[in-house]
Amino acid sequence: MSAVLPDYDVLNDALRGLNPDLDAAELHGQLCGMLCVEPRLPEADAWRRILGGDPAGPARERLHEVWVATRAMFEGGQFDFQPLLPSDEARLESRVEALAHWAQGFLLGLDRLGLTDRSGLLGELPGIAEDLGKIAAAESYALDDEEADENAFMELVEYLRVAVQLFREELQAKRETQGGDNATPTVH
């Protein structure tokens, strides 16, 4: 099944009434981070952790669409996953800023479910987490070659897609070795 996330700008508009400091990219990053740690996290719990309460009004429907599409992407396999970012028609600066917010949100999502010490993770995950932290911390972007900058952005998005899948797979394998599919990974 092909999952379709809601339009970035439509979701941003819906979020303004709930939390004006949270954009669609960061929200989706947080959700993805939490679902990597706990794939069976109930939808209501996810929104309470991210928003500090239950969504209301027009945002509720948009958030449910995000939830359904994100779960479907994760269950569909590694090639289905896409981060929620502005469309390709948006200015590159806006897309790069949203990518930084997405990476920040992903790390925050891991943190929200207790995975704050990522140095003890296996394989490439500690290095990937460090890379995501660098992407999240970028404050300015020197963009001067449109084609090269666009290619670099696409490479970062692809890296992020692979990184999320690696987190999901590694944490799932860790859950299974700690007592089966019902166990959650030990987090600190």
Residue 134 lies in a domain: yes
Residue 106 lies in a domain: yes
What CA–CA distance (Å, rounded) separates 104 from 33?
10
Q: What is the pLDDT of residues 69-127, one digit of tens each?
A: 999 999 886 668 999 999 999 999 899 999 999 999 999 999 999 999 888 888 899 99
Residue 156 lies in a domain: yes
Q: What is the pLDDT of residues 36-75, one digit of tens each?
A: 999 999 999 999 999 998 888 878 999 999 999 999 999 8
Q: Does the pTM of the predicted model rise above 0.85?
A: yes
Residue 182 lies in a domain: no
Long-range pairs for 40-45: beta carbons < 8 A, 24 or more residues apart: 41/113, 43/67
Domains identified in the chain, total number? 1
- Find the DSSP H helices in 20-120: 24-37, 43-51, 58-76, 92-112
Residue 76 lies in a domain: yes
The domain spanning residue 14 has which CATH number?
1.20.120.740
